Amino acid sequence: MSDYSQTYSTVVVASPEDCFAVLTDFEAYPDWSSPIAESRVLERYPDGLARRVAMALDMKIKTVRYTLEYTYDRPRGARWRLVEGDVKDVQGSYSFEPAASGTTATCTQSIDVGFWIPGFLRSVFEKKALQDSVEEFRKAVESRGRA
């Protein structure tokens, strides 16, 4: 596991169920998540939720590909871990907790890219990437609710 773990929370004007629905709609990720070029379900659990998902991220310099395995606590969130790919390790989770004006969505993620990056630069990059990702998620949930 990476030594660098980041957490970011935001309030989503939607229910935990609405958040869970967007989180588990992997085929739609390229529509709302700017770095995700491809998201393809490879295997499903008997209840239909995705178990293994292949992703391709356009990192401008290089496309990074990996497969994640998901476990769920419906509708309170999910956890994921790296199965294989271009990075050494990825682990993370999303949790959804009811809040006065909707749902507090919290994402925690650690990534080990497999090569050395100075700690300060890595921390700043990962923090911004996670914050952008969670805010894009919030917008996707809220826009789906208005549609």
pLDDT by 10-residue block (mean), the chain, 147 residues: 76 97 97 95 98 90 91 97 92 96 95 59 60 94 84
CB atoms within 10 A of CB 116: 7
Lay out the sheet containing 36-44: strands in order across.
5-12, 102-112, 89-99, 77-85, 63-73, 50-58, 36-44
Domain boundaries, the chain: 5-146
Model pLDDT for residues 26-53, shown as the tens digit of each residue: 999 999 999 899 999 999 999 999 999 9
Cβ distance 78 to 93 under 8 Å? Answer: yes
Q: How confident is the model at residue 86, as a pLDDT? A: 87
**What is the per-residue DSSP string for 121-143?**
HHHHHHHHHHHHHHHHHHHHHHH
In terms of CATH, what superfamily is 5-146? START domain (3.30.530.20)
**Cα–Cα dist 74/89, whole Å:** 25
- Centroid of chain to Cα 25: 11
Q: How confident is the model at residue 51, as a pLDDT? A: 98
